[in-house]
Structure 1
Amino acid sequence: MPATHRHRETQMMRMLVLGTLTLCLCTPSGDAQTAWKGETLVSPLGNNNTFLVDMNGKTVKTWSCSARPGLIAYLFDDGSILRPCRDSGGSFSGGGAGGRLQRYDANGKLTWDYYFSTSSHQQHHDVQPMPNGNILLIAWERKSNQEAVAAGRQSITGEMWPTLIAEIKPVGATGGTVVWEWHAWDHLIQDVDSRKPNYGVVADHPELIDINFGKVSRGDWIHANAIDYNEKLDQIVFSSHFLHEFYVIDHSTTTKEAAGHTGGRSGKGGDILYRWGNPQAYGRGTSADQKFFVVHGANWIDGGLPGEGNILAFDNGDRPGRNNDYSTVVEVVPPVDTKGHYFIAPTKPFGPATPVWSYSDRSSFYSNHLSGAYRLPNGNTIICEGTSGYLFEVTAAGKKVWDYDYQGSIARAERYWTSPLAADTRTVPASTGGSVGFTVKAGSSHAKRGYLLVGGITGTSPGLLLPGGKVTLPINPDVFTSLVLAALNTPLFANFLGVLDAGGKGAAKANLPALDSAFVGMKMDFAYCLFGPFDYVSNAVRVEVVR
């Protein structure tokens, strides 16, 4: 084709796409109506298998394991899985008991088999793979009745098992080294006996856990059930069944600092940085202020996803009495001050007063334990109703767009996908500027289709509903979006509008100039859509201007 014809065709494509997108920008954002494609990893409580199901509910991969789960598995990019499971000889017995961590490769071969199970401690419920290759886990830690009474616990006749969090570095085929640990026992308060340790006014110390709050069931006290890690903040979140809260702690500490009240990025050592769900647990509320009635599955929304940095949790809704029980998935925006520290006003509970988003259906949505939810790149949320094993995906407006009914208990289930957009760097120095190379991978089924890469600086949620109402681009349109559209395929934003090759791939590059220091900290999100029709969007990739 002559160059003049190619140029004319490119200009026509540009005008068509920009005209359509301009109309879209002038229309209020709505709600995507399609599910986010991927495969969902399922570990049923009733058998030893872990498997992947596709969008049609077909099992496409199975790992036959040696024990029941304890309780949720994780999939890695190399096709292997990490799966906590039950230690049949463990000395602790309770809901979610594990004690053994196993890794199976993509072919189902066991490559690592490690026990975190002794007479003094045992893993349970959950683990969390970390970017450095280590693994975070939650465990029970055994305290005798004498130790519990000496610490100020009242009305207890047996043992007490507070939460222990450990970071494990895998070693060889069966080994592991504890490289960091945190103990709830180091962060207690009680207001009953001034002769005993940890005495103080509970309401004055929301950073501590009241040893007398909540029941102890056969030793189990906090009953943590999920753990997640935020690499950017270097913080951990975990949720508590019995205390009806989730907690955030600092991971940037040393183990010694984690046992105390100073040190780490926060300067607070291992004390609670933030908690939400039940203010009466720390003396700053009553039962009327309780948000969670049993909570599971607390996790941060990952970077680049709508709601990035917010916390999702599953409120089981097991309210007092026999009536009015229903579950709710909530998205919480933690309150932070100008320095990024969690904020709590004197005598008041931690905010917010209400979630920024929630999903519930009082007529049919209820699981009194287990369960969880995860955000997806298109703004949808995948939910596991744990006791029934019913998995489903809802849009931001609560419309159900996918489901899978296993008909058996599942703790939680996460969806995995190949990220359609990747960047070769996530930072650009303000003083010099720099280039960011983008790899567009939509897959061969989208070969030869047109793509448009755009950006924004005001976040990814609620995003931009594209024409046709099928998909929402995870970019909030703003002045930066207009700049990108005005400079498409110039040296500033090279190949931001193009056509995918036969493999459904493309490449683009942002060549950003040096910027004033006032722009340090600016976060630019990029995502692309396919057009003709608008039926496919990518994940968002965040690039930050740094010093």
Structure 2
Amino acid sequence: MRITQTGLLTCDPSKASPGLTLFAPLEAHNAYLLNMAGDTVHEWALGEPVGGNVYLLENGNLLTAERSPEGPIGVNGKGGFIREYDWDGGVVSEYIDHAQHHDMRRLDNGNLLYIGWEEMDPDKATRVQGGIAGTEHNDGSILSDYLKEVTPKGDVVWEWHMQDMEIENYPLHLEVPRAEFAHMNSCFPLPNGDVLVSLRRNSMVAVIHRETKKFNWQMSDLTWGMQHDAQMLDNGNFLFFANGLSTATFPHSRVIELDPKPKEIVWQYKGSPPFSFFSPHISGAQRLANGNTLICEGVWGRFFEVTPEGEIVWEYISPHEFTYFNNDKLNWVFRCYRYTEDSRQINNRVSA
């Protein structure tokens, strides 16, 4: 897909789910709120470049993962500064962990759950299976993921470490570097306190039991192609963006709704033809109130809403670009979210 137009491309008011769409371009210092016509109706100025997830809390404040110049180098999804902004852009709170990456969530108890990197113990690193031989970091090390829950005062009250799992049971995808085990890119708190996670380089979605710190549900499927944004829907099913990297002669992405009990796909969206919809990394999806699904095709900065039958009823492409290291102009977006006017997040401050 070649970007030939930006802004609003499609809107069918009779079928689209009305609301405000939030997004924050990667590497930008801004977050934007769009109405259904594709107009920016509110924005926030951020202190550092966007590095990962950005979303609205129920009080209408903005929670961001912003890129720190410190911490691990040569990694993607880097955050480090987790900041909360009020509606007018004032900083309400800040938590710093220079190893934080990709995702973070404000819990109902006010605590913060987030993903971070740590260097694996050398003996554990030798047990990592799969990946491309010789692609560890220059010093031979491998980074692994951890989860931490911290209080508003910064006290760690719960943590989990990927390197404490049975490492041999979770091989990396054969076509990825061995520098990271396992590149967690989402952490979704479940009502019972467990955490649903996406492990990209294992093409695996799993549930971490809060007490035992073991996986009490897991599923891996190479056809997902190193997925993103695993979440639980109100009906108990799991929704995620299957990137589809290295999975076919013509790679293509899908959005999958999975019933976790029989481990069966109950709904999916893919392009027509399939290769017309493909984002090899980042990206996400959100199930909307009317049953439609909002999709962020991240590497194209494309947000579009589809009906259960797959009809596109709203579509927008971000005009905000940044310059990559080889001078390419990119408009990548990690995720986007839709909020109704009367939601707690928007509270009728602006109109859709």
* Amino acid in structure 1 at the alignment position of 2:334: A
Task: Establish whether residue 299 from structure 1 lines up as the match of residue 231 from structure 2.
Answer: yes
1: CA distance between counterparts of 2:231 and 2:28? Answer: 26
1:139 to 1:152, Cα distance in 2 relative to 1, 3 A: closer
Deviation by residue 1:427-462 (Cα, 9 ceiling, x = unmatched): xxxxxxxxxxxxxxx99xxxxxxxxxxxxxxxxxxx
1:218 to 1:189, Cα distance in 2 relative to 1, 3 A: closer
Conserved in 1, the CA contact under 8 Å of 2:144 and 2:182? yes
Match of 1:248? 207
* Amino acid in structure 1 at the alignment position of 2:238: I
* Amino acid in structure 2 at the alignment position of 1:110: V
Deviation by residue 1:39-70 (Cα, 9 ceiling, x = unmatched): 11101013111111111111111110111112
Which residue of 166, 172, 188 corresponds with 1:228? Answer: 188
Question: What is the CA distance between 1:331 and its match in structure 2?
Answer: 0.0
Question: What is the CA distance between 1:324 and its match in structure 2?
Answer: 1.4
Task: Establish whether residue 132 from structure 1 lines up as the match of residue 132 from structure 2.
Answer: no
1: CA distance between counterparts of 2:121 and 2:141? Answer: 5
Deviation by residue 1:335-383 (Cα, 9 ceiling, x = unmatched): 1xxxxxxxxxxxxxxx42x410000111521111111101011111000
Task: Establish whether residue 394 from structure 1 lines up as the match of residue 306 from structure 2.
Answer: yes
2: CA distance between counterparts of 1:212 and 1:126? Answer: 21
Question: What is the CA distance between 1:77 and its match in structure 2?
Answer: 2.8
Question: What is the CA distance between 1:386 and its match in structure 2?
Answer: 0.4
Name the SS of the counterpart of 2:202 in structure 1. coil
2: CA distance between counterparts of 1:152 and 1:95? Answer: 20
Which residue of 318, 321, 329 corresponds with 1:406? Answer: 318
1:419 to 1:214, Cα distance in 2 relative to 1, 3 A: farther
Question: What is the CA distance between 1:227 and its match in structure 2?
Answer: 1.4
Question: What is the CA distance between 1:245 and its match in structure 2?
Answer: 1.2
RMSD: 2.4
Deviation by residue 1:118-170 (Cα, 9 ceiling, x = unmatched): xxxx1101111211111111111112545523x57686661111210111212
* Amino acid in structure 1 at the alignment position of 2:188: D
1:397 to 1:141, Cα distance in 2 relative to 1, 3 A: same
1: CA distance between counterparts of 2:302 and 2:239? Answer: 18
Conserved in 2, the CA contact under 8 Å of 1:214 and 1:221? no
1: CA distance between counterparts of 2:159 and 2:175? Answer: 25
Name the SS of the counterpart of 1:355 in structure 2. strand
| Superposition map of 1:320-469 within 5 A | 320=247, 323-335=249-261, 351-352=262-263, 354-361=264-271, 362-407=274-319, 408-418=331-341
Q: Which has the higher contact order (CA 8 A, sep 6+)?
A: 2
Conserved in 2, the CA contact under 8 Å of 1:70 and 1:126? no
Match of 1:170? 152
1:213 to 1:367, Cα distance in 2 relative to 1, 3 A: closer
Conserved in 2, the CA contact under 8 Å of 1:214 and 1:243? no
| Superposition map of 1:20-169 within 5 A | 34-117=15-98, 122-149=99-126, 151=127, 158-169=140-151
Question: What is the CA distance between 1:212 and its match in structure 2?
Answer: 6.7
Spell out structure 1 runs of 4+ moving beyond 6 A: none
Deviation by residue 1:244-278 (Cα, 9 ceiling, x = unmatched): 11111122x2xxxxxxxxxxxxxxx1111112232
Question: What is the CA distance between 1:292 and its match in structure 2?
Answer: 0.9
1: CA distance between counterparts of 2:337 and 2:45? Answer: 19
Name the SS of the counterpart of 1:182 in structure 2. strand
1:168 to 1:146, Cα distance in 2 relative to 1, 3 A: same
Question: What is the CA distance between 1:297 and its match in structure 2?
Answer: 1.0
Question: What is the CA distance between 1:218 and its match in structure 2?
Answer: 6.5
Question: What is the CA distance between 1:76 and its match in structure 2?
Answer: 1.8
Q: How many residues align?
A: 315
Task: Establish whether residue 277 from structure 1 lines up as the match of residue 236 from structure 2.
Answer: no
Answer 1 or 2: which has greater strand percent. 2
Name the SS of the counterpart of 2:84 in structure 1. strand
Question: What is the CA distance between 1:299 and its match in structure 2?
Answer: 0.9
Conserved in 1, the CA contact under 8 Å of 2:293 and 2:307? yes
1:380 to 1:212, Cα distance in 2 relative to 1, 3 A: closer
Question: What is the CA distance between 1:327 and its match in structure 2?
Answer: 0.8
Name the SS of the counterpart of 1:170 in structure 2. coil
Conserved in 2, the CA contact under 8 Å of 1:295 and 1:316? yes
2: CA distance between counterparts of 1:412 and 1:292? Answer: 18
Conserved in 1, the CA contact under 8 Å of 2:84 and 2:94? yes
Deviation by residue 1:201-250 (Cα, 9 ceiling, x = unmatched): xxxxxxxx43676577363221111111112x322111122111111112
Match of 1:13? none
2: CA distance between counterparts of 1:212 and 1:416? Answer: 36
Conserved in 1, the CA contact under 8 Å of 2:102 and 2:115? yes
2: CA distance between counterparts of 1:98 and 1:420? Answer: 28
Match of 2:5? none
2: CA distance between counterparts of 1:399 and 1:210? Answer: 37
Question: What is the CA distance between 1:96 and its match in structure 2?
Answer: 0.4
Sequence identity (%): 32
2: CA distance between counterparts of 1:360 and 1:227? Answer: 24
Which residue of 154, 171, 186 corresponds with 2:164? Answer: 186
* Amino acid in structure 1 at the alignment position of 2:57: F
2: CA distance between counterparts of 1:295 and 1:152? Answer: 20
2: CA distance between counterparts of 1:152 and 1:35? Answer: 46
* Amino acid in structure 2 at the alignment position of 1:105: D
Conserved in 1, the CA contact under 8 Å of 2:27 and 2:51? no
Conserved in 2, the CA contact under 8 Å of 1:72 and 1:126? yes
1:212 to 1:230, Cα distance in 2 relative to 1, 3 A: closer
Match of 2:322? none
Q: Calculate the TM-score normalised by the size of structure 2.
A: 0.83
Gaps of at least 5 residues in structure 1 are 1-31, 191-208, 254-268, 279-289, 336-350, 422-441, 444-547
2: CA distance between counterparts of 1:293 and 1:76? Answer: 31
1:95 to 1:42, Cα distance in 2 relative to 1, 3 A: same
Conserved in 1, the CA contact under 8 Å of 2:84 and 2:92? yes
Question: What is the CA distance between 1:110 and its match in structure 2?
Answer: 1.1
Deviation by residue 1:365-417 (Cα, 9 ceiling, x = unmatched): 11111111010111110000000010011111111111111141101111112
* Amino acid in structure 1 at the alignment position of 2:231: N
Match of 1:485? none
* Amino acid in structure 2 at the alignment position of 1:162: S
Question: What is the CA distance between 1:99 and its match in structure 2?
Answer: 1.4
